[in-house]
Each structure stands twice: as structure tokens, then as C-alpha cells.
Copies of this chain bind each other. A is one copy, B any other.
Amino acid sequence: MPRLYALVLSGGAGTRLWPLSRRATPKQFLDLVGGSTLLRDTVERVSELVPTERIFAVAPPEHRALIHEQLPELRADHFVVEPYPRGNAAAIGLAMAALYAFDPEAVVAVLPSDHVVEKRARFREVLIAATAGAERGHLVTLGITPTRADTGFGYIEAGERLDVAAPVEVLAVRRFIEKPKREAAERMVAAGGHFWNAGMFVWRVDRILAAYREHLPATARAIDALAEATGGPRYEAVLAEVWEETDRTTIDYGILEKARDVAVVPADIGWHDVGSWARLAEIVAQGRNWASGGHVAVDAEDNYVWAPGKLVALVGVEGLVVVDTPDALLVVPKERAEDVKAVVDRLRREERDELL
């Protein structure tokens, strides 16, 4: 793929996979589904299309060591440090500055690193189609084919098919819909033509910079200053100066919902957001008992246990998630898995930083 770059986003620090996921090691750095970490998977998924020297990553400074460890092939000047969180419009803008300085004609795939994609070959086809759309000037989103009426994601309503020759159709975006209520979600999934917004995008860097200028001019000015300073001695000083001038918003709300020429490529790629232990259990256990180190079950069904190196004995229990780490042990039914946040909130209030 000529000029296709990948920008790996590694800024997240969710709380719903506690106690395994911690501030110091968020989920993208964990080997959750066997064999490799989510971050490593993200890079390997694009490796056939994007050579190592065209991979960029953006992450907060506290993840520098983990990024270096897990992506040793990443060029040092392709690791973009986000000083502190200001929303992903600013983080992506910061990385666009580095990309523009490196190659003003770059086409870039923006890829969050905290997801699972099961169908790699299909993902590559989708990415090729999205790249074709981006080369034609579109801001392309990957639209995940919904598998249920989920109310936890934003949706993308597709319109007419665009004139792009590609292995997968490229559609115009009619509108973005924020996390819907259940009824609306059910209606959209039943109607078809609606996709989950998974935060994966492909665009020409000059096109997204134009969109920043139009919709987030303060961030655009910061990007211009940073692109100018990239590779020079004043970069750090400029970053320190302009970072707090960026708009605090998301790329969806700040740009994509307002921009023209936004397209979507339907992506039936076996995508999962690993947003909670229940979701992870679905992916790896699929309704059976599953334990990372092996198990014995007596009248037990549909339990998910993370306890590496241990035999797990399940007797008379159903639908439980148990997560065993060296300093914390979580027990929660799958249907309450989202409430792990409440535990993390409580630990935060009690300032038990060693457990966060």
C-alpha cells in the first residue's frame, strides 16, 4: 500500500478490567486472549500492509517503557508523547503533526490498540478499501457490522455507495449517532445500514489537517506549530506551550460529525471492544467454563476465571467472573461486570493507589 501509515493509539486507561488492568499497565499491554498483547496484535494486524518504518504510536509518557518493550521495532521519532490527556482530537492531532512533518502526502490508518479483531484477512480487505476511499479525499471510518443492539457504542448511519473501486464497498456517512437508548439501537440494527463506531479511521493527512482547520482551529494552530518544530530542538518547548491551547474534545464530536466527505467501510471483521470482563469472557470462553490455568468443574457452567498457573475448581457456580492477581481478587457475576468500576472508584476515594 503506497504511503499507508498506521497510527497506533495507546492512551487508554480503563478501569473495567481491574484488577488485571492497572494505571501502570492498561489493557492494551496485557495478553488477554492468549499469545500476544492487544497492542502487539494491533501492529501485527497491519504488518502486511504497513512496513515497520511507517508505524507511529501516540501514548502518555508513563507508557514509554511498555511501548518500547512491546514495540521494539518502533522508530524512536515515531513515538509521539501526549503530555497529559486532552481528548483524542488533540492526541490524534499531535500525531498528525508528526506524520505531516514526516510525509505530507501520507495516508494514515488510525488504530486504537485496545480491541480484538478476529478476522485478520477480512480486516486487511476492509483496510485496503478504506485506504482507496482516503486516497480519493474521504475521511473514512471503519463501521463495525453490529451483532446485537448494543447501547454502549456510537452508531454510524450509512448512505449511498461511493464511486471507489475496492474489495469492500465504501459508503457515504449520513450521520453519526451517539450511544443510543435500547429502542433506538434495536431499530437501527433491525433496519441495517447502521454500524458501530469503533474509532478506527483512515484518511490523508492533508485532508484531516484541513478538517482540523475548519472545525477545531485552535488545535489546528497547535498542529501547525508542532509540525514546524518536529525534529528540531524546540519541539518540547513548543509542545509545552501549545498543548493546553488544543480543544478538549473527541475526534468524532469535534470533527467527523461536522465534516463533509466522511465515508464508512462496513467491517465484518470479528471486532470486540474488550470493554469488560463479561465481554472478554464471551470472546475466549463462549459460554463454557474457562480458566487460564486449567479447571475442574462439578455442576458448574459458563464461568470465566483468570488465574494463571493455578488449577481452578468450580463447584455449583454459574456465570461468574473471577480474576486472581498477586494483590487483588475479584468475584463478580458476568451481568454485573460493568460494576467493577464501582470498586475502582471506591479504591480511588480511599486513596489505595497501590491497587489502582
Contacts and interface: CB of A to CB of B under 8 A. Distances in A.
A316 interface: yes
Interface string A327-354: 1111111011001101100110000100
A355 interface: yes
Interface string A308-337: 011111111100101011111111110110
A226 B81 CA distance: 81
A313 B327 contact: no
Interface of A: 18-19, 296, 298-299, 303, 305, 307, 309-317, 320, 322, 324-333, 335-336, 339-340, 342-343, 346-347, 352, 355
A274 B326 CA distance: 28
Contact of A332 (B317, B327, B355): B317
Contacts of A333: 315-317
Tell me the interface secondary structure of chain A in the complex.
Answer: mixed
Contacts of A18: 313
**Which of A316, A342, A355 is most buried by chain B, counting CB atoms within 10 A of its CB?**
A316
Contacts of A311: 19, 327-329, 347, 352, 355
Given A296-B346, A331-B331, A336 B309 contact: no
List the number of copies, as a whole number: 2
Contact of A296 (B309, B314, B347): B347
Contacts of A329: 305, 307, 310-313, 322, 324
Nearest to A309: B327
Given A305-B331, A317-B320, A331-B331, 18 more contacts: A296-B346, A298-B339, A298-B343, A310-B325, A311-B327, A311-B328, A311-B352, A311-B355, A312-B328, A312-B331, A313-B330, A315-B333, A315-B339, A315-B340, A316-B336, A317-B333, A322-B331, A324-B329
A169 to B, nearest CB: 43
10 contacts: A298-B342, A305-B331, A311-B329, A312-B330, A313-B343, A314-B331, A316-B332, A317-B331, A322-B322, A322-B329
